[in-house]
């Protein structure tokens, strides 16, 4: 099976956004589902813009036989500020001032569990694979390709986050050489719980985002590779 990589374009919106949403449905619903608004509606709106965390320009597409098979977003702390500002503008443009303020507050609460990466860290986000292609090495291929790019950028860390209730994803990351560095619970109030803990006392070690479940309060596990 040949996997081809390319930058996402606005025309990918209908295939790409469900895959982005599948990466962390509980987190996306917590941040962006508000009254009549659905998280996918906002993700589609944001994807069509070039800038921002969820913009098409920030995403990589993996294709098999000209079909979108997977997607991922990658950025370092150097790009995070501009991407975050773009995302904030999109939130207020989509929801308006009052609802946008509520959404913005929720985004800040999620950030307590998934803090921004450092400048020398390559962060993996929005990693999703279409169901028919799962178990065929698509996610592994995306991660390995971007890891080489991160090396070429001289980044010190390659990082991601995953929910503690997502053992399938954890198994994949550990097979690729990632290891847990932190565990952080997330409560519905958005405040870290008292049982939040660091598994490795190294403040310079971080990881990447796949899913966070705030309802059942699982721990968000932060991973980074054993060797990079």
- pLDDT tens, position by position, 36-69: 999 999 999 999 999 999 999 999 999 999 999 9
Which pLDDT does position 96 carry in this prediction? 96
Domain ranges of the chain: 4-225
Question: Cα–Cα distance between 111 and 104 in angstroms, integer?
Answer: 11
pLDDT at 222: 61
1, pLDDT greater than 60: yes
Cβ neighbourhood burial of 52 (10 Å; 0-12, 13-18, 19+): buried
Report the pLDDT value the prediction gives residue 201, as an integer from 0 to 100. Answer: 23
How many whole angstroms separate alpha carbon 22 and alpha carbon 19? 5
pLDDT digits (tens, 9 = 90+) for 160-179: 888 777 778 888 888 888 88
Given a cut of 70, is residue 224 above it in pLDDT? no
C-beta separation of 161 from 220 below 8 A: yes
pLDDT at residue number 226? 55
Per CATH, is 4-225 categorized as 2.60.120.10? no
**Model pLDDT for residues 87-144, shown as the tens digit of each residue:** 999 999 999 999 999 999 999 988 888 888 889 888 999 999 999 999 999 999 999 9
* Cross-strand pairs, 16: none
Which of 143, 191, 144 is CA-nearest to residue 23?
143
In the sheet that holds 197-198, the strands lie side by side as 4-7, 59-64, 67-76, 121-129, 157-163, 219-225, 178-185, 197-198
Please report which confidence band the pLDDT of residue 182 belongs to, taking 50, 70 and 90 as the band edges.
confident
Q: What pLDDT score was predicted for residue 209?
A: 30
């Amino acid at each position: 099976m040949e996997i081809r990589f390319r930058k996402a374009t606005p025309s990918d919106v209908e295939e790409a956004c469900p895959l982005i949403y599948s990466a962390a449905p509980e987190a996306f619903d917590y941040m962006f589902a508000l009254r009549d608004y659905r998280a996918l509606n906002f993700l589609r709106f944001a994807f069509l813009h070039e800038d921002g965390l969820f913009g098409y320009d920030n995403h990589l597409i993996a294709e098999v036989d000209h079909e979108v098979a997977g997607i991922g977003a990658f950025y370092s702390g150097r790009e995070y500020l501009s991407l975050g500002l773009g995302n904030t503008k999109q939130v207020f443009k989509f929801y308006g001032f009052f609802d946008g303020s509520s959404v913005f507050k929720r985004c800040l609460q999620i950030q307590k569990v998934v803090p921004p990466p450092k400048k020398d860290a390559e962060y993996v986000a929005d990693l999703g694979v279409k169901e028919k292609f799962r178990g065929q090495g698509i996610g592994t291929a995306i991660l390995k390709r971007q890891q080489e790019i991160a090396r070429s950028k001289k980044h010190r860390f390659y990082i991601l986050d995953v929910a503690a209730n997502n053992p399938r994803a954890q198994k994949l990351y550990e097979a690729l050489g990632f290891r847990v560095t932190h565990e952080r619970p997330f409560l519905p109030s958005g405040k870290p719980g008292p049982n939040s803990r660091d598994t490795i006392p190294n403040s310079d070690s971080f990881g990447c985002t796949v899913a966070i479940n705030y309802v059942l309060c699982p721990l968000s596990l932060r991973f980074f590779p054993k060797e990079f």
